[in-house]
Amino acid sequence: MIGLDASFSVIDTHTAGHPTRVILSGVPKLEGASVLEKRDDFRRRFDSLRGLLLHEPRGHAAMVGLVPVPSTVADYGAFFISSYVYLDMCGHGTIGLAKTLASTGQITREQGDSFTLETPAGVVTVGLVWSHDGALSAVRIRNVPSFIGIEGLKVQSEPFGTVSTDIVYGGMWYALVDADELGLSLTPENASRLMTLGSELKLAIKKSIAGDPRFSGAVPPSVLFYSDNAPGEATHFLVLESNKFDRSPCGTGTAARVAMLDRKGQLKPDGSYIAKNILGVPFIARVVERPDAAVVVEIEGMAHLVAHSTILLENSDPLRQGFLCK
């Protein structure tokens, strides 16, 4: 008989190509009154599970995990874990959670067209679009407020020299960079080069904003390269690390881009924006509220089922915490 140390029931989905692994069972009970406190308790006591569940050989560098937890202020609670950092908010992951809840029958057309979700960044509303046969056909996230941190920050980064970037919050911090100005092509064939250049630029930005209290304690901004295809439409490529990019257009990154376009008066009259990934799959975003010095953006997309499985850990496994190679 195989000696097992632990097992975890998971459902994997992808949202425009980027994975979400919803962890249904196996995580120990977490302490804390809020989702943020529970997330911090997980990080403090059970961070080794992150490598086990997300890294190779059971996952890969781009895997994102979602841990459902109880909430006292929303219908559901969840926090997000990734291969390198903990995320305060994740758009594609929230869409993946909605698909998972629909696939397990926890949400249905008869129960309504939305639910609330408490995340470490705050409570978001998740709208549900149902088809005539009762299947979930689209998800619309009313995100936390997005706002500008720094407009027109100049940094030095090889091989470009001086690069201009806008630092914008959309649930996480993002550095928005015009790929066309740098002569970069946002295509699948160019992904490795984009990750290398973007990670070097990310380091330069991190050094430039070090000590700025607005970013104290926050995950450093990831670089979101964009290339405008038409008015109100662009291709996105989000560089997370030298070996990791967001396959989706990035939900919270899209919210950040919308906030910047709104600031410059460059949105369509209806406030909408289409963000496509390098595979051509879109998110549709629109401004739905304008609180002081911020905008609330709704991001629409869809996730699809990949697998329903049980992750196992044998007692004898020498790579129980997983591994990542850059």
Q: List active site positions.
A: 90, 250
Q: Are 20 and 282 in contact (CB under 8 A)?
A: no
* CA within 13 Å, CB half, 203: 9
* CA within 13 Å, CB half, 157: 22
Tokens 């050989």 belong to 57
Q: Which residues of 67-86 are buried (b: 16+ CB within 10 A; e: fewer)?
A: bbbebeebbbbbbbbbbeeb
What's the count of helices (H) and strands (E) in the chain, helices before strands? 5, 18
Distance of CA 260 to the CA centre of its chain: 18
Give the relative orientation of helices 251-263 and 91-103 as an angle to the nearest 10 degrees. Answer: 130
Please give the sequence-ordered ranges of beta strands (E in DSSP) within 158-265, or none if there are none: 161-169, 173-178, 222-230, 233-241, 244-246
Cα dist. 77→2, 70, 276 in Å?
A: 35, 5, 28
Read off the tokens for 117. 């979700």
